Amino acid sequence: MNRNLWIAIGFMAMGMSLIPVGDAIAKQLSNTTAYSAPFLAWARFGLGACVLLPLAFRTAESRQLPKTFFLKQSLRGLLIALTVVTIIKAVSLSPIAEVFGCFFIGPVLSVVLSIFVLNEKASLAQWVSVVLGFIGVLLVVQPGFLGFEATSNTQDVDRSGLYWALLAGVFYGSFLVATRWAASVGPPLSQVAVQFAVAALLITPFAIANLISVGLVSVPLLIASSLSSVLANYFSIQALGRVTAAALAPVVYMQVVAATIIGLLFFNESLSMVASMGLALIIFSGFFRMRMPALKVEG
């Protein structure tokens, strides 16, 4: 591999690792304060917008954006706001590694949605990866209707957060499709900046109510959670500016690896054998899609 690709992989790995870091901080805040998931999401998006908007709109290209840009970014902002609120709710209730395993229903769903919404075609490898990824998610969730029991090695674990994680994955899969739909309407940094601003505005009424009742506490952790999100997006942009998204796709699964390590080290969360198999299958499905030949099948 050339030097530029290694640099891009390094940026992407840092970005993907920082996503569960931000959610782990949100989990800690949920456990130690009365902050709600909407408020924690609002704090993240609000600071992110304050950092990214001035950077984005310093360029002439960003100051001449078409009206369709703001329409499309508004949809993306709504979907990412729903994603982050539900994922924070999920990690506040359940082990973070299992939450991220369920959350990865999003990339699986995006393949299906892109066929019906964007009229794209899926390769045979993509369809196989969808099936493998879905089976992996089922192994992580271990739903009762399939005869699974809650088998996590951690005593008295609340698994209700996994259903919030599935909902977050649905929103995220929709967000990925909306991102493809909106990809050509403006520079990436401007898209992320406006996305953050729209998300913050949409959540503001819920966040303000919580802030009034609780007050402003744990400010360093709030800032750390927000900066983790900003840096994750910044590193991802740096990576995608160097090589293609396809070359970096497997690195996205660093989120699952990082979430597992964080859960073990900081929250004393262990995984059952079944959940571990599910996470491994989800990661394998991503690499399988990258390595198999692109035999097209009609969707």
Contacts of 218 (CB under 8 A, 6+ apart): 29, 32, 33, 35
Task: Quote the pTM value.
Answer: 0.85
Q: How many CA atoms lie within 13 A of 212 on its CB side?
A: 6
Backbone phi and psi for residue 123, each to the nearest 5 degrees, phi listed first: -80, 165
pLDDT for residue 290: 59
Q: Taking each helix axis from N to C terminus, what angle separates 3-32 and 67-93, rounded to the nearest 10 degrees?
A: 60
Rounded to whole angstroms, the Cα distance separating 276 from 270 reads 10
pLDDT for residue 156: 53
Mean pLDDT per block of 10 residues along the chain (299 residues) reads 82 92 95 95 93 80 76 93 96 92 86 83 76 84 55 55 93 89 80 92 94 92 92 85 71 86 89 84 75 41
pLDDT for residue 246: 62
pLDDT for residue 9: 86
pLDDT for residue 241: 75
Fill in the amino acid letter for 58.
R
pLDDT for residue 66: 80
Coarse DSSP helix, strand, coil percentages of the chain, rounded to the nearest 5 percent = 80, 0, 20
CA dist 98 to 17, 134, 157, 203, 232, Å? 16, 14, 11, 26, 21
